[in-house]
Structure 1
Amino acid sequence: MNKTILETEDFIHEFKTLYQKNKNKINNVDFAIAAPFTKLFLFKNHNIDFAAQNMSQFEKGAYTGEISPLMIKDLNAKYVILGHSERREYFNESDEIVNQKLHLALKHGVIPIVCIGETLKQYEAKQTKEVILKQIQKSLKDVKDFSKIIIAYEPIWAIGTGKTSTVEYAQEICEFIRKNTSKNVIIQYGGSVNPNNIENLMSQKDIDGALVGGASLEAQSFIKLLTLNK
C-alpha cells in the first residue's frame, strides 16, 4: 500500500522522462508496474504495461471488497501477482486458493505471476526444495502450458530484510523450479533485489527476470534496475 494518486502521477511522469533519457541502455527488457488496484487506471494511457497485485478466486458475485478477474481484464492489466508471501502470511492464502486464482486469470487472458518460496524457519531447516516442490504441485496444479504463466521465486526470509540469498543459491533454486515445471516457463527472482545486485542475478541461466519491491518505488531506482545499473 504505497503512493497516493498524486504521488503515482508524479512517479509516472518522472519514470517516463528518465526512461526516454536511458532508452538506449534498455534493450529487449519486458517490464510492468504492479500498482494498487485504485491506481491502475492511471497507467492505461501511458503505454506502460501494468499488473494487479492480487485478485479474487471468484469470477463475480457478492464478495464485498474483492477484485474480480473481469475487473482486472476491463482495465487491460497484462499481469496479476498471485500468492505473494504477504498474501499467504497475512491473509492465509493457501496453495489451493492460489491455484483457483491462477486458472481464473488464464481463463480471462491475464498472465499470472505465481509466487512461491520458503520461510526463514524452513530455510534454516534445509526444507527449501521440499517446500517449493509442494507449492509447485498444489499452486500450479493442472497447468497445461507453462509458457502462459510466470513463476516468481521469493525466499520469504530475504524480502524487505536487506538479506539476499547468494546468487548461486538463487540460481540453484530457480533451476530446481524449472526442472520440476517446464523449460519454457519464465522464472523471476524476488528477494531484496536492488540496482547493486540486479546485473549479477540476471546473468544466471535460470533467472529470467525479477519481482522487485522496495527498489521499484522510486523512478530513478526503477530505471537503474532496467539498465542493470549501467
Structure 2
Amino acid sequence: MPQKTLETKRQAAVRRTAAIRAGAVRLPLREGPKWIARIGGEHCAALETTDPAKVLPGLLPLMPKHVKLTHVEISSEGWFAIPGPDDDGKYGGYLTVRRDGVIEVIVCLNTADANARQPVWRPDSYESCALDLMGQPLTQALERLGIPTPALLFMSLTELSGARMVAAFGTSREHGYLTLEGFDSVQFPEVHVGTDREIAESLQRVFEEVRTMLHGISLQSLDCQIDLPVTCA
C-alpha cells in the first residue's frame, strides 16, 4: 500500500476516534472507557448485499459476548448491528458495516467502581476480546461480507479520563494507575490482517507497546482496589 494511502487511513481512524469521544455515535453508550476497532480492505470496495438477514450472521462473531447483537438497521451509511439496551437505556456498544466496506466496532469496556470514586478497567478487558475475535472470526466475516483482503485493523481507546487502569508491568504485582488529567485517548499502531497466527502475534506486540506507553504516562496509586473481576464475558 502506498504510504500516502496508509497515512490517509490512519488520519481517518484518528478523526473517527475524536468524533466518537465527542458523542458522534448512533446510540447512547454507557459512560467510561471504550475500545474502537476499524477494519477495512487496503482498497475500498462497495458492499453489494442489502439483505439484513445476510449481514447479521457475519457480524455476530465480531462482538464480545457481553454485547449481544439482536438486529440490524439499514441507513444510507450502511448497516448497524445493535444489541439490547441496559436498564438505564444505554448500550454496551454496536457495530457498523459501512457501504464503503469499513467495519467499525465500538465496545464499552466492562468496569467496576473502586471505592465508588472512579471506574476501574483492565487492559485485558479489550486485549482478550481482540485476540478472541480478530482471528478466524474476522477473516470469515470479511469473506462473508465480501470485503477484500488484505485488510487493515485500526484500534483505539477513548474516554479514559477519570478512570483508573489496573495492570501489572514487568514482574510487579497489579497496581491501580490513575489516568493523567487531559489524557483521554490512545491510537494503536495499525495491524495488517493476515493469517490467524500473524494477527495474534501482531496484536500481542501492539498491546505490549500500548501497555508500556500507558504505564509511562500514568500516575501510580496504591489505594486502588485491585481484585475486581473485569472480563469480556
TM-score (norm 1): 0.28
Identify which of structures 1 and 2 has the higher relative contact order when contacts are C-alpha pairs closer than 8 Å and 6+ apart: 2
Greater share of residues in strand: 2
TM-score (norm 2): 0.28
